[in-house]
Chain A
C-alpha cells in the first residue's frame, strides 16, 4: 500500500508552506539520505493562466519546494525546472508570463523548455495504442524526478493530476495528435519517464470554482496520488481510465494509506455536483456538435 499525505497550510507564507512541504514529505517517509545530484522538477504549466486561478503550478510554490530539496539534499544539487511547448502554449511566453523565469533567476535553477533540448524518439504501445514520444535526454540523467501537479478536473480525461502532468514531459510540441487516445498516451509517457516524487500544489485549487484550499499532497506513487486526488474530488478512481490503465501497467498502486488531514480536504474541496456534471456533459456535446459562429 502506498502512502499519500495531506497537509493543511493555513497561512500561505514562506515559512508555513516550507514547513508544510517538509511535513508532507515526512508523512510519506520520503528518503532524503540518497545521493542526488541532478533534480528535475516538472510543474503544471498548461496554458497562460495566472497561478491564482489554480490552473497552473505557482512558481512561488516551486521556489519553496526548491528550498526544501536544497535543505535536505545539499546546495550542490543541480535543479532543472522543465516544461515543453504544447499545441497552444509556448514556453518562451508562459515562463515569462507566469513568473517562472524570474523565479529561476532568483533561485539559481535552470529553466528548460524541453522542446528545445535533445531528446530520444521512443515507441511505446499501451492497450494496443501505439505512440512515438520524444523523451528528453535530461530524464535519463536525472537522479530525482519531482512531479509538481495541480489537482483539478479536466473534461477529456476527468482529472489532471500527477499522471497527466507528465504528459508535458514529451518534448514533441503538437500534442493534439495524442488526443484521440489521451488516456493511453498519458500512461505511455509515464512508463517512459518515471516519477520519483509527487508534491501536489493544492494551495489554490480549481474545482467547481477556484478555492484557496491550503493543501499540500505528496506521494512517491503517482497512481496512488491520482487515486487519492480523484476520491478527494468526488470521483470514483475506477472511472478515471488513465488511473486504472496505469495501475494495470504496473506504474503504481490504487490502494493507498492517507496520511494527515484527509477528511478536512474531502469536506472542503470545491467538487462538481450532479448539476455541474450534467451541465458539463451537455455543453461538451453541444460544443462538439454545433459549428462555431
Chain B
C-alpha cells in the first residue's frame, strides 16, 4: 500500500484532534470526513478536506478509501464498525471499543472474518513516560513488581474548560447508561486497565467498588483491585468527580519504587507543545504517535497495537469489575 486514503467518521473533540494529526502524517491522505454537525464539517473544510458528509455511509461507499477512524459516541461504535468492516475498511476506533463485551466480540469477529486491521485508540500506550515505564518493567529495573497504583481522576465529560476557554455543553448520551455503556470506570478506567494488561498480562482476580457522587445512573467514582496471574496486585482509581486532573502510576517493586505523573501538562508545557507542532515536531504527542503507528501497520501489513483483541481483553476485565461492584450494591 502506498499512501493511505483515510476517512474520519465523527468530528467531536477527539475527531478534530485526529484530523489535525492526520494532516501532518506523510503517508496519509484524508479523503473525506463525516459528522452530523455542519460546524464541524466547516472546520474540516477549512483545513482543506474536500469531501465532507453528514452521513458516514458516504465515506464507506468511497472505494478509494482504505481505512477509517471512528470517533463517535460509544453507542454508535458497534454499528459504524460493523458497516466499515462490511465495506472492507481497516479501522482505528476510539476507545472504548464498544459498550460491553458482547459488542466488542461482535466487532472483533467482523474484522477477523474480513481479514481487516482493527486498532483501538488507547493513546496512553504511546505516552513517552508510559513507554519508559514498560521498558523499565521489562528490563527488571523495579525488580519484581509487587504493587501498582494507577489513578485517573478528572471532571470527565463534565469539563468546565473542555474547549479551553469556557464550558461547552455535555452531549446528553453521556448521562444515559444505555448509550454510554458505563461511567468513569469505562471511560477513564479502561485506559489504565489497558496499560496494566499491557504491562503484566492476564488477570487472575478482580475486586471493585463503584460510587455515585453526582446521583446519576452512571458511576463517577470507581476503585478496582486486579491480581495478575504472573504479576502484582494493581489498584485502579478512577473518577469524574473532580475539577482537578490527576493521571498517575505508582510502581513498587522489590528493587525500586517510583511514581510517574502522566497528568495534562501545565501552561508552559502546553505552549511548548504548540511551538513543537508549529515547527512540525510531533514526536512526543501520543495521539499523533498512535495514528502514525496505525498507518505504518497498514503500510507494512502488520498487526496494530493495541489491537481489537486487546480492546476485547480490556472490556472483559472491565465487565468483571462492574459485575463485582454491582453484586456489592445488590447485597
Contact = CB atoms under 8 A, between A and B. Distances in A.
A49 B17 CA distance: 26
A88 B267 contact: no
B331 interface: no
Interface in B266-283: 267, 270-271, 274
Given A96-B215, A97-B214, A97-B216, A47 B167 contact: yes
A88 B215 contact: no
A93 interface: yes
Contacts of A290: 270-271, 274
Interface in B123-170: 155, 158, 160, 163-170
Interface string A252-293: 000000000000000000000000000100110011101011
A102 interface: yes
Given A48-B170, A49-B160, A288 B215 contact: no
B114 interface: no
B75 interface: no
Nearest to B278: A290
B170 A88 contact: yes
Interface string B162-180: 0111111110000100000
A50 B267 contact: no
Contact of B158 (A48, A279, A282): A48
A27 interface: no
Interface string A114-145: 00000000000000000000000000000000
B214 A293 contact: no
A176 B243 CA distance: 22
B41 to A, nearest CB: 17
A48 B215 CA distance: 12
A288 B213 contact: no
A280 to B, nearest CB: 10
Contacts of B20: 293
A288 B241 CA distance: 27
Interface in B202-252: 213-216, 241, 243
B83 interface: no
Contacts of A288: 165
A86 B166 CA distance: 12
Contacts of A176: 166
Question: Which of A48, A86, A93, A286 has the most chain B CB within a 10 Å cutoff?
Answer: A48
A48 B214 contact: yes
A292 B163 contact: yes
Interface secondary structure of B, over-half rule: loop
Interface extent on A, as a size class? 20 to 34
B280 to A, nearest CB: 15
Contacts of B166: 87-88, 176
Contact of A287 (B165, B167, B175): B165
Nearest to B213: A50
B94 to A, nearest CB: 15
B138 to A, nearest CB: 32
A94 to B, nearest CB: 10
Contacts of A48: 155, 158, 170, 214
Nearest to B13: A292
A48 B169 CA distance: 11
B16 interface: yes
Contacts of A55: 243
A240 interface: no
Nearest to A95: B215
A240 B297 CA distance: 57
B215 A49 contact: no
B243 A53 contact: yes
A292 B215 contact: no
A288 B214 CA distance: 31
Given A93-B175, A286-B270, A293-B17, A50 B214 contact: yes
A88 B20 CA distance: 25
A88 B168 contact: yes
A93 B214 CA distance: 10
A88 B167 contact: yes
Nearest to A291: B274
Given A88-B169, A286-B271, A96 B164 contact: no
Contact of B164 (A90, A102, A287): A287
Contacts of A102: 215
Contacts of A286: 267, 270-271
Contacts of B175: 93
Nearest to B287: A293
Nearest to A49: B243
A3 to B, nearest CB: 34
B231 to A, nearest CB: 35
Interface string B72-114: 0000000000000000000000000000000000000000000
A207 interface: no
21 contacts: A48-B170, A49-B243, A50-B213, A50-B214, A50-B241, A53-B243, A87-B166, A88-B160, A88-B168, A93-B170, A93-B216, A97-B214, A97-B216, A99-B215, A279-B267, A283-B267, A287-B164, A288-B165, A290-B270, A290-B274, A292-B16
Given A55-B243, A288-B165, A290-B274, 13 more contacts: A47-B167, A48-B214, A49-B160, A87-B167, A88-B160, A88-B170, A102-B215, A283-B267, A286-B267, A286-B271, A287-B164, A292-B163, A293-B17
For the complex of A and B, the 4 pairs showing the least CB-CB separation, nearest first, are A88-B167, A97-B214, A48-B158, A283-B267
